[in-house]
Amino acid sequence: MKKTAFIMLLLSSLMIACMASKNGVPGAPGKDATMAVNDTIRIANDKLEYEIIIIDPGFSSWFNSYAKPRNYYSQPYLEARNSTWVSAWNIRASSPLQYGNLYGMRIDYDSNIDYGYEVNYMLYNYLTYFQIVNKVQLGGFAPRI
């Protein structure tokens, strides 16, 4: 049985997409195309039994337009950003009265586990996208594109 540490988070992104500003997605096609398309991306590290599934309208087009190519960032860089951003995400997810429903569920990310490059790369890009679209900053690092 595969461990699906990120599935619940990324499924909750569908709820987040409903609350996001319709014209606040940089790089996305017109409003109608963004709202009509339900992007789904699955990245799996079968060797380690971890996967990330991203279901969020607009993410795929943003990713194709703005994400740096694979291997642009080192895995330690991605892990450092993900660890900081996920910690901030989890704090906000556990305080919905203070931060609203934007964060949905906690992300089960352990910095002591090697999730592999691809999982870290996609999580990093999703968290970057999330911060830009929702105009929030998780942790001490501002998202860069």
For the segment 51-72, what is each residue's pLDDT rounded down to a tens digit?
A: 777 777 888 899 999 999 999 9
Structure tokens at 41: 């991306």
Q: What are the tens digits of pLDDT across the range 88-119?
A: 999 999 999 999 888 888 888 999 999 999 99
- pTM equals 0.70
Q: What are the domain boundaries of the chain? A: 7-134
- How much is the pLDDT for 44? 60
Q: Tokens 């909750």 label which residue? A: 12
